[in-house]
A and B are shown apart, each in its own frame.
Chain A
């Protein structure tokens, strides 16, 4: 299967700082990548769709100025959580579709804790 990596695996930051999370497709190219957030014992929530060479598409209720997405190349998308607050603490996971069926392959996730 396709391999997607994420960095960092976990991060702890102070309230008010910004955190950047990278998502890479290692053995395939992805013009689209997806960013999800998952709170403990809750389901996956799609935040936004990252599009290479154009603006990201955000889901309703997700602040685009707070969650900055950049899809700089066919193998890299970044999510920057700006001015992070404790309520932003969550598990952030990216995925990239691959193959004829557009099966989404997930990165290992980034656990963000904002103090």
Chain B
């Protein structure tokens, strides 16, 4: 079956760095997406990876290893506004998105 695993909750300190991991198993693969969702709001797109390696976008970076079925989202210089849920989603061979349950990130001062 198709599956996405990511931690339920993580806590980090303002100004620090945090890495949110995601492992996936899909029928075929057409890319890995990360979204941010603040409480009570809709998800917003953060990043897309389809090739192995690191994609950097400001304070956020996303990494993919296709052979390991693994991705991570790296957040640097954490700010209080980064407190949110981070959703990992993998696109299968039918271009369907398989969603993880999300990782709730709590930032402490």
Contact = CB atoms under 8 A, between A and B. Distances in A.
Report if A and B associate in a common complex.
yes
Interface of A: 1, 43-44, 46, 91, 93, 101-109
Interface residues on B, range: 20 to 34
Given A104-B97, A105-B45, A108-B41, A43 B31 contact: no
Given A46-B99, A103-B48, A106-B45, 16 more contacts: A1-B45, A43-B87, A43-B99, A43-B100, A44-B99, A91-B40, A101-B31, A101-B50, A103-B33, A104-B33, A104-B45, A104-B97, A106-B42, A108-B41, A109-B41, A109-B42
A14 to B, nearest CB: 24
B101 A43 contact: yes
Contacts of B50: 101
Nearest to B101: A43
A107 B8 CA distance: 25
A1 to B, nearest CB: 6
Nearest to A42: B101
Contacts of A109: 41-42
